[in-house]
Structure 1
Amino acid sequence: MPRVVSKRRAVAVAAAAGALSLGSLAAASTARAAGPRVTIAGTHPEWAVTAGHAAAPAVRTGTVSARVYLAGRDSAGLTAYATAVSAPGNALYRHYLTPAQVRARFGATAAQVTAIESWLRSAGLRVTGVTREIGGYVAVTGTVAEASAAFGVRFGRFRAPGGHTYRAPEEPATAPGPVAAGVLTVSGLDTAPHLARPAGALPPPGPNYWVAPPTGAYYFQKIATTKPPAYGRHQPWNVTGYTPRQIRGAYGVTRSRMTGRGQTVAVVDAYASPTMPGDADKFAAVTGDRPFRQGQFAQHLDTPFNSVTECGAQGWYGEETLDIEAVHGQAPGARVHFVAAASCQDADLAQALAYIVNTRAASVVSNSWAEPADEASLTSVDDLIFRAGAAEGIGFFFSSGDNGYESPVEDPASDKIQVDYPTSSPWVTSVGGTSLAIGSRDNYQFETAWGTLLDPLAKSGKSWKYAPPGLYPEYWDGSSGGGTSTMYRQPWYQRPVVPDSLSHAVPGGGRTSTPMRVVPDVSALADPSTGMLVGQTTLQPNGKTYAFSLSRIGGTSVSCPIFAGIEADAQQAAGYPIGFANPAIYRRYGTRAFHDVTGNPLGPGYLAQVRNNYADGFTRRGPIVTYLRTLGVDGEGAAALPATKGYDDATGVGSPRSYIQSFFR
């Protein structure tokens, strides 16, 4: 699982920072004195703090390239309509709007856009582009002085913990009162990594990660009898990697006889693999499925690509491949529309999401990327897009994250315990992760929350180095993302289901009087040791040639496209677009639609596997290293996300059981 930007996450911006220099600009003072102004939300980065700053000249030179995002009209009306069409039993349920109808009712007017352009030009900024659709913006460029005058801010330089310095506004940007209602937010005022910058051509594919033997074709096929026991028994060797057919059997897809035919699933990632969809066709053939038929696969590439080095483009190739193969594996009859963002920067990913809503390119959208919530820069833009999508009958699905509660000891890019975003938006379906045991007949055996502690084999080979399960966090090895949001209040669909003990919890400890959004909503296979096989063209161990190779992949980057594919099957069963799925999902809580995933599915005690790793998994070189992998340890202490009976913040309402069948007419 790649980390940070190539780990399904937009570029992380350093959190706490100290100002290197502050000051005032005459132009900014003049702009503030010109008349009543209104603060623009989301324009002052959390890391651009003033405490402890040193006296130094303000930033007076340089250029600013910004996007002023359009708020549109009647935000409350859009929320109400999106809620009504998504709520079973409502008179407007499934009365979806077309993209043109959404723009006509809730989009920005020509007068609003003209007023915003006039305001920006009056400060000397040059308008370089305008998009009036949902998620649209006015793009401008100019000098620091011109931007300071337009937005009523002073600029300074701020040092991040990693030693990098960024230009950023000292205070939130403002807009003149007459135009402020049409402005949603502004991006590009700071130079931190979420600002997209031009870059060169895409690199070739990276190396493959090779799975060391022995492995089982299914769970419990091979028992590690030559290795020390743990928890009173010899544990099984890990699996080679499940095929899509095995996963279809475990999650009720095979029994449903649904294939997703007639549905379209969009997959959103950054960049585009040079070997797709050929790799997906080869993978289908190798694993016994059918390749894409003519016209079943399409792609929209938002070129030119940029920020290639910052974002780690090679890692995104594997993400795209995994996502497409997982969706096709669970919905082999569905159309797959790949939408490639120009980079992993927040603004470019938002533009890719907006494309889907403005063209209704799909009714199900899989997104295997995330970032800590306090680092997301365009939440208001994304949420506008998600609400518009709900009004059109589009469901957005997001990975819940691979670092549990984002504790700093589990994710150094996070400065506190928190949930990820966009998965924590109340307008998307958050998909958590599990460890899944599948039997010899593709049958579901058991499941627990994904959360792994490693314990290396002792030098003697007769015991494990530490008393199982091992040391946390030193040997923690990934877990399902989840927890309670501090940004969003509890949505209506969670009220009857989510326990107060979770919705009123404050990340890191304490309680709040206001119930908040809790994630994930659902879950599916994610543990890399019970992961899915993926086929991709990769650099071979000789470091010179490229060839198609199989590997086992995990993370909530697997669970999200698996569930998105199953959602397409459910839509086929229903005969209509389900759209924003959460109201329908929570309505099925406690039924046979879901497996209730707990921490002890086989009774008291830990579950575990034994796994061999190459010392260098990319070249298959070095000695074999053996680990006991204890399952179901999703954080400890304040960062713990235990899987319990009923709804929990590790696996949500559970994993698919007869979910598809619950939609049969």
Structure 2
Amino acid sequence: MPKRHVAAALGAVSALVAGILAASPGAEAAPAAKVIPNTAPSWVGHAQHLGHASTKARVQAKVYLAPRGGLAALQRAALAVSTPGSATYRQFLNPAQYRAQYAPTRQTVAEVESWLRSSGLKVTGVESHYRYISVSGTAAAAKRAFGATIDRYRHDGQTVQAPSRTLTAPASVGAAVLTVTGLDTTAHKVEPTNVKAQLPPPAGFRNARPCSTYFGQLKAKTQADFHTPLPQFDGKYLSYAPCGYTGPQFRAAYEGNTTLDGQGVTVAITDAFAAPTIFNDANKYAENHGDGAYRGGQFSQWTAGKFRHVAECGGNGWYGEETLDVEAVHAMAPAANIIYYGAASCYDNDLLAALAQAVDDNAAQLVTNSWGEVEEGESSDSIAAYEQVFLQGAMQGISFMFSSGDNGDELANSGIKQADYPTSDPYVTSVGGTSAAIGADGSMSFETGWGTVKYSLSADGQSWNPVGYLYGAGGGTSSLFNQPAYQAGVVRSSYRTVPDVAMDADPNTGMLVGETQTFPDGKYYDEYRIGGTSLASPLFAGMTALSLQNAGGGVGLLNPVIYGNATSGVFNDIKGTAKQAGDVRVDFANGVDATGGLLYSVRTFNQDSSLQVRKGWDNVTGLGTPNGGWLTAIAPPT
């Protein structure tokens, strides 16, 4: 899953809190002001302070506007329309109706603009639906506007400007201001790892042989030459990893013999950039593996104009992410429409713009997203901006799902056990991961938590040597959000915990995908196995498209329905045991062919750092994986 590196957060976004700035004795009373919550970067306490920024230092910011009637009222409304049994359940709004009821008025925008200009800031733009006002100016003007000096700091390898404390706004407009972004110049971005910063087809990769067509087909008793024996692992011969599951295998294992196919439902996908070969690749893959070619208009791709920050964002590394997302959704819902939204970069502002475009278009009922970063790196101002989009989406009947992460409890990756964001947000569905053993007949032989410890083959070929923890499904307890009502009575915690559900994510039991790549002998289409919770989220989105087809439309935030079915049997409670300890994987040393030799390793199952699969909800697989019952769990309208 591509990862974000962002500023640290203070806590959950909440309603605006009133505050008074006291005047000094003998001075004229200062105007009353309202605190803008969570706008002081929490990383300041452990950063190197470099002094005040020059009063002439340039600043740019976005002043996000609160929904009409207040954030708390919108949050209550979004939960109500998404909760079965509510008087407003599934009584969704279209974008025009949402704006008429919740968007700030033109008068409010004018009042906020007047305050900003009077402070010396220049208004450089107003978002078309009044989500935010863009401003620029000097540090001195920012201090006059927001009541905080702009200082310089060194942290997280960056030299940045940021507010020295929590921001304020005049009481006359304070209730209209949701948050302010941009004053903290810490880079807010996500990026795929281990890729070159370029935009031709990415470097080629292939999986070596032998591999299994289905789980357990080939026992790993000998190496590829079928003469040199391989050692047992814990006293048993493991099987070779699957070559990569295809659509028919996933549909058989999870969906069963349903006639539902996603017809009439649209799934949106957001990532950075856009692969120019995606339609031809996805169409060829579908025809090769029994998913059926795309009909006219079934797939479309939106991009935000010229790409930027290509080098910083990992360039064409995003192409494989898009390929996986598109092909996984189509594998689970062959008749569903797919719209891909390609952000102009991996920075928060551009990813937010892509999400907002999906909400404003209102064409999709589901939005799947395979990116995020640790909560420690998240900033509260960006949380408010994301939730602005998630809440509007819920009011329009749109469900958001995010991958839970690929680094387990994040301790080895960040030094702190923590969840990721946006997957931990209460207004999205967090999708964790499993290791899935799909047998010869398409049934699930077993499924356990995704968490991998790697063992490499010794130089003499006689033993497996431990390498250490490699990767696993993200999850855990949020440090940003209290427990939402829908988790009460199901999860034993006072805080938001993730994931909510899970599907196959293990790269060693992953999906075969097809993509145009750059090989030593040219650029052409080829196929390889891939995984991560970047696979689990689009698999769940595709399967849920069938549920919405049966239900006759969207449901908004999915979580009240998901947790309302915690004990109904529509989710398989994943066990912490498996019929074998892992599988044997063979890789080309050069990633392309056998000329550089072969590498053998054992990749274990269900060893996900400190996260553990347990009975009921757990922090690896949530409530578990959906089965055929999920397809009819949402009641059609009466």
Residue among 394, 401, 407 paired with 2:405? 401
Q: Does 1:189 align with 2:183?
A: yes
User: C-alpha distance in 2, partners of 1:222/1:346?
Assistant: 45
Deviation at 1:228, TM superposition (A): 1.1
Q: Map residues 224-373 of structure 1 onto 2, 5 A cutoff.
A: 224-226=220-222, 227-252=230-255, 254-373=256-375
Residue among 518, 527, 539 paired with 2:518? 539
User: C-alpha distance in 1, partners of 2:8/2:386?
Assistant: 21
Contact 2:116 2:145 in 1 (8 A): yes
Distance 1:313-1:15 versus aligned 2 partners, 3 A rule: farther
> What is aligned with 1:150?
145
Contact 1:634 1:641 in 2 (8 A): yes
The gaps in structure 2 that reach 5 residues or longer are: 11-22, 191-196, 223-229
> What is aligned with 1:510?
none
Contact 2:198 2:311 in 1 (8 A): no
2:576 aligns to what SS in structure 1?
Answer: coil
> What is aligned with 1:24?
none
User: C-alpha distance in 2, partners of 1:34/1:343?
Assistant: 42
Deviation at 1:52, TM superposition (A): 6.0
Deviation at 1:276, TM superposition (A): 1.9
> What is aligned with 1:631?
605
Contact 2:125 2:133 in 1 (8 A): yes
Deviation at 1:306, TM superposition (A): 1.8
Moved more, 91-100 or 477-486: 91-100
Contact 2:570 2:627 in 1 (8 A): yes
> What is aligned with 1:36?
32
**What per-residue deviation string (whole Å, max 9, x for no partner) do you get for residues 122-168 of structure 1?**
1222211102527x110112223222322222222211243x31122
Deviation at 1:601, TM superposition (A): 4.0
Q: CA RMSD in A?
A: 2.3
Contact 2:48 2:153 in 1 (8 A): no
> What is aligned with 1:653?
623
> What is aligned with 1:477?
470
Q: Map residues 125-144 of structure 1 onto 2, 5 A cutoff.
A: 125-133=121-129, 136-144=131-139
For residue 447 of structure 1, what is the amino acid of its counterpart? E
**What per-residue deviation string (whole Å, max 9, x for no partner) do you get for residues 45-65 of structure 1?**
2223377646x5643343212
Residue among 503, 508, 517 paired with 2:496? 517
Contact 1:396 1:428 in 2 (8 A): yes
> What is aligned with 1:662?
633
Moved more, 620-629 or 96-105: 620-629
Q: Does 1:217 align with 2:220?
A: no
Distance 1:597-1:387 versus aligned 2 partners, 3 A rule: same
> What is aligned with 2:120?
124
Distance 1:256-1:147 versus aligned 2 partners, 3 A rule: same
1:316 aligns to what SS in structure 2?
Answer: helix
Contact 1:212 1:613 in 2 (8 A): yes
Residue-pair matches, total: 604
Moved more, 308-317 or 531-540: 308-317
**What per-residue deviation string (whole Å, max 9, x for no partner) do you get for residues 188-223 of structure 1?**
112221289xxxx97212112211111001100000
Q: Does 1:95 align with 2:72?
A: no
Deviation at 1:405, TM superposition (A): 1.4
Contact 1:46 1:374 in 2 (8 A): no
Deviation at 1:34, TM superposition (A): 5.1
Deviation at 1:14, TM superposition (A): 8.1
For residue 572 of structure 1, what is the amino acid of its counterpart? Q
Deviation at 1:269, TM superposition (A): 0.9
User: C-alpha distance in 2, partners of 1:146/1:119?
Assistant: 11
1:436 aligns to what SS in structure 2?
Answer: strand
The gaps in structure 1 that reach 5 residues or longer are: 1-6, 17-28, 504-514
Distance 1:281-1:49 versus aligned 2 partners, 3 A rule: same
Moved more, 58-67 or 526-535: 58-67
For residue 553 of structure 1, what is the amino acid of its counterpart? I
Deviation at 1:303, TM superposition (A): 2.0
1:573 aligns to what SS in structure 2?
Answer: helix
Contact 1:208 1:540 in 2 (8 A): yes
> What is aligned with 1:508?
none
Distance 1:161-1:350 versus aligned 2 partners, 3 A rule: closer
Q: Does 1:494 align with 2:522?
A: no
User: C-alpha distance in 1, partners of 2:314/2:189?
Assistant: 15
Deviation at 1:455, TM superposition (A): 0.9
Contact 2:292 2:334 in 1 (8 A): yes
Q: Does 1:63 align with 2:58?
A: yes
2:445 aligns to what SS in structure 1?
Answer: strand
Deviation at 1:482, TM superposition (A): 0.5
Residue among 169, 180, 183 paired with 2:174? 180
For residue 541 of structure 1, what is the amino acid of its counterpart? P
After TM superposition, the runs of 4+ consecutive aligned structure 1 residues lying more than 6 A away are: none
User: C-alpha distance in 2, partners of 1:48/1:314?
Assistant: 34
2:43 aligns to what SS in structure 1?
Answer: coil
User: C-alpha distance in 2, partners of 1:59/1:33?
Assistant: 28
- TM-score w.r.t. structure 1 length? 0.87
Contact 1:169 1:190 in 2 (8 A): yes
Distance 1:153-1:585 versus aligned 2 partners, 3 A rule: same
Distance 1:480-1:172 versus aligned 2 partners, 3 A rule: same
> What is aligned with 1:512?
none
**What per-residue deviation string (whole Å, max 9, x for no partner) do you get for residues 350-369 of structure 1?**
22212222231211110111
Contact 1:11 1:311 in 2 (8 A): no
> What is aligned with 2:100?
104
For residue 654 of structure 1, what is the amino acid of its counterpart? G
Distance 1:33-1:301 versus aligned 2 partners, 3 A rule: farther
Contact 1:228 1:462 in 2 (8 A): yes
Distance 1:437-1:50 versus aligned 2 partners, 3 A rule: closer
Q: Map residues 65-80 of structure 1 onto 2, 5 A cutoff.
A: 65-74=60-69, 75-80=71-76
For residue 397 of structure 2, what is the amino acid of its counterpart? G
